[in-house]
């Protein structure tokens, strides 16, 4: 009944027969004929071809649910064999937002693949909502994120703890009122913002300046809103973006102030045009975890990757 399921699943993913055929390295007519043969065997259509993009029929939805269960069983057995082969074969799919994909994971993946060159690592960059969908469906083995996921569904592995700081373009005149609180990028590298003796800047000094915030739903945005609410300030938000790294890059051009993580500040290229400040709030601290689905079989590959990641963080 499920013979040829890879054809069905590829069209389901791409929502397009032509793209699916390219991915499968067959012609579109051949793919269409194969799927029609499957539908005839089932006695029901799987795809509604009248819509654009192609959509599943009611029977198609149930078919996909069934083959995803089969694929999960196949993946579990393949992972079991990978363990028996002592990591001589296998694969790992990791999801991350822009900051982690650009500045954190490259070092971890490089060290891991140097040790296990036969393991194929796939990195998916997307926003938190999309990454969670992919993790839940089983398309990803891990997601690294500072956004808290439901612990009833996902298992978490602590990677690091990070702190939010204020990043202000050097040209802003408000910096002159906050000289005693200023931190350089070298100070951030040395962790000066984490020391109790370092004074936090009064946010009221920047109350009339423009700000760049992330969009609602992002963890940094939620924390930023709470920080300003605590201080009784309504920030002048002139731009909302999806990615923390993008917000920081725009701020570096002098457009506005933004709140970033020290993880980003420490990993991004040094920018002498910015001044940094410690923020006094419990909302500035958060943990970064690697998440995996609770009922997913933890392979030897996954175990070794987490060990590699945690070892690198301890060395820093």
* Domain region containing 95: 81-160+287-315
Q: Give yes or no: residues 261 and 186 share one domain.
A: yes
CATH number, domain containing residue 194: 3.40.190.10
Q: Are strands 210-214 and 257-261 parallel, antiparallel or unpaired?
A: parallel
166 with 265, same domain? Answer: yes
Q: How many domains does the chain have?
A: 3
Examine the domain organization and report whether 91 and 9 are in the same domain. no
Residues 14 and 167: their CA atoms lie apart, in Å, by 41
Same domain for 146 and 32? no
Q: How far apart are CA 178 and CA 174, in angstroms?
A: 7
Query: Do 175 and 227 lie in a common domain?
Result: yes
Are 170 and 259 within one domain? yes
Same-domain check for residues 144 and 202: no
**Phi first, then psi: what are they for 123, rounded to 5°?**
-110, 125
How would you write the pLDDT of the chain (316 residues) with one tens digit per residue? Answer: 678 788 888 888 888 898 888 988 999 999 899 999 988 988 899 998 888 888 999 998 998 999 889 888 888 888 777 776 778 778 899 999 999 999 999 999 999 999 999 899 999 998 888 999 999 999 999 999 998 899 999 999 999 999 999 999 999 999 999 999 999 999 999 999 999 999 999 999 999 999 999 999 899 999 999 999 999 999 999 999 999 999 999 999 999 999 999 999 988 766 678 999 999 999 999 999 999 999 888 888 999 999 999 988 776 6
pTM value surpassing 0.75: no
DSSP letter for 113, please: H
């Amino acid at each position: 009944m499920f013979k040829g399921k890879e054809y069905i699943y590829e069209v389901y993913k791409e929502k397009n027969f032509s793209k699916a055929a390219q991915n499968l390295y067959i012609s579109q007519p051949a793919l269409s004929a194969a799927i029609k043969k499957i539908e005839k065997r089932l006695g029901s259509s799987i795809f509604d071809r009248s819509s654009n993009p192609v959509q599943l029929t009611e029977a198609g939805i149930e078919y996909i649910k069934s083959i995803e269960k089969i694929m999960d069983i196949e993946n579990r057995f393949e992972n079991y064999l990978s363990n028996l082969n002592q990591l001589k074969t296998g694969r790992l799919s990791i999801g991350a937002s822009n900051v982690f994909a650009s500045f954190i994971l490259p070092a971890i993946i490089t060290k891991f693949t140097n040790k296990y060159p036969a393991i194929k690592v796939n990195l998916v960059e997307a926003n938190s909502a999309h990454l969670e969908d992919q993790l839940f469906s089983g398309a990803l083995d891990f997601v690294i994120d500072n956004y808290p996921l439901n612990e009833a569904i996902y298992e978490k592995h602590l990677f690091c703890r990070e702190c939010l700081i204020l990043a202000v373009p050097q040209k802003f005149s408000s910096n002159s009122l906050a000289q005693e609180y200023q931190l350089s990028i070298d100070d951030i590298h040395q962790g000066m913002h984490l020391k109790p003796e370092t004074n936090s800047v009064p946010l009221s000094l920047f109350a009339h300046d423009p700000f760049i915030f992330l969009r609602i739903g992002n963890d940094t945005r939620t924390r930023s809103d709470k920080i300003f609410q605590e201080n009784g300030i309504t920030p002048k938000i002139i731009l909302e973006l999806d990615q923390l790294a993008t917000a920081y890059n725009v701020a570096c051009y002098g457009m506005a102030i933004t709140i970033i993580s020290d993880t980003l500040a420490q990993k991004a290229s040094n920018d002498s045009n910015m001044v940094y400040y410690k923020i006094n709030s419990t909302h500035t601290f958060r943990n970064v975890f690697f998440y995996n689905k609770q009922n997913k079989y933890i392979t030897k590959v996954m175990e070794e990757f987490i060990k590699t990641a945690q070892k690198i963080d301890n060395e820093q």
